[in-house]
């Protein structure tokens, strides 16, 4: 049995440590427009609703990707396959927003909004910013989708857990019934 830590005024370090144990899908959030092209690795991505199709992305407010997504008003969120770990690593490094060759890793195209979309991704969600709201250290961005592209449903996804990348199973194994 593991111990629980419950503290009044729980600090960020304890929260980050607990979240490190939660497996999360890995994505690249990319944008292009008047503020320039940029992208970053993100795990805080979730579907919100299918009417209208909307996803939520959380971006660190101090990062250059947050400012560029907000100014460009568009983003494509590419859910990475396990084979895309080099893409995740390239987009996870800090560049301060300066061109650094990160888009040289992977095969990129564009869907409807003009934001870069990764070919071969498990899925790509391409949309326009409908709302961007600061919450603590992050900017919560709601993207109203204009296009989606589904990839190979059998390809294992890339997940991040315990501060490292892992391949997710492509399908849950179920016991055979007799």
Read off the pLDDT of residues 142-178 as tens digits, 9 standing for 90 and up.
999 999 999 988 889 999 888 888 888 755 544 454 4
CA distance 63 to 39: 10
Read off the pLDDT of residues 25-71 as tens digits, 9 standing for 90 and up.
999 999 999 999 999 999 999 999 999 999 999 999 999 999 999 99
Read off the pLDDT of residues 76-132 as tens digits, 9 standing for 90 and up.
999 999 999 999 999 998 766 667 789 999 999 999 999 999 999 999 999 999 999
Q: Which pLDDT score is estimated for 94?
A: 76
Q: Which pLDDT score is estimated for 178?
A: 44
Q: Report CA-CA distances (Å) from 102 to 19, 30, 31, 89, 129.
A: 27, 11, 13, 9, 23
CATH topology of domain 24-159: Pnp Oxidase; Chain A (2.30.110)
């Amino acid at each position: 049995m593991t111990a629980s830590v419950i503290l009044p005024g729980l600090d960020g370090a304890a929260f980050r440590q607990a979240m490190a144990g939660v497996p999360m899908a890995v994505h690249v959030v990319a944008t292009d427009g008047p503020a320039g092209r940029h992208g970053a690795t993100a795990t805080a991505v979730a579907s919100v609703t299918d009417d209208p199709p909307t996803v939520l992305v959380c971006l660190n407010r101090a990062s250059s990707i947050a400012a560029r997504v907000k100014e460009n008003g568009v983003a494509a969120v590419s859910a990475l396959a396990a084979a895309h770990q080099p893409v995740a690593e390239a987009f996870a490094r800090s560049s301060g927003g300066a061109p650094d060759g990160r888009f040289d890793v992977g095969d990129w195209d564009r869907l409807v909004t003009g934001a870069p979309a990764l070919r071969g991704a498990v899925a790509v969600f391409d949309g326009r910013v409908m709302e961007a709201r600061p919450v603590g250290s992050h900017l919560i961005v709601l993207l109203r989708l204009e296009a989606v592209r589904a990839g190979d449903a059998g390809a294992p996804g890339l997940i991040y857990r315990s501060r490292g990348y892992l391949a997710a199973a492509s399908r849950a194994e179920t016991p055979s019934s007799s």
